[in-house]
């Protein structure tokens, strides 16, 4: 199901003519593989292995695009970092 959801997310990006960089693909792949909410810090740490130049600004920018497209959900926790989760189909 996760692979199917990721493919739907990629298709939605293509249909909106959103440029899919390798970093955006890796971010979507990471989010859709997670089973719970994650933070920007956690995302950066996970993706730095393959993309050493990735930073919080890049991740936040991509997450904003993904949120606008309905590909991710955001959870604001008082006293904590904002957390993100893939918007999985039901």
| 14 Cβ neighbours under 8 A, 6+ residues apart | 20
Q: How many CB atoms lie within 10 A of CB 82?
A: 13
Per-residue pLDDT of the chain (90 residues), as tens digits, is: 467 788 999 999 999 999 999 999 999 999 999 888 999 999 999 999 999 999 999 999 999 999 999 999 999 888 888 999 998 765
* pLDDT for the residue 26: 95
Collapsing DSSP to helix, strand or coil, 38 comes out as strand
pTM of the model: 0.87
- pLDDT value at position 78? 82
Q: Which CATH class is domain 2-86?
A: mainly alpha
């Amino acid at each position: 199901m996760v692979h199917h959801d990721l493919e739907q997310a990629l298709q939605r990006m293509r249909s909106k003519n959103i440029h899919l960089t390798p970093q955006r693909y890796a971010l979507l792949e990471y989010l859709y593989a997670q089973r719970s909410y994650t933070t920007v810090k956690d995302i950066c740490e996970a993706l730095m292995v393959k993309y050493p130049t990735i930073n919080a600004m890049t991740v936040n920018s991509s997450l904003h695009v993904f949120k606008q497209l309905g590909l991710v959900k955001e959870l604001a926790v008082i006293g904590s970092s904002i957390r993100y989760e893939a918007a999985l189909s039901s």
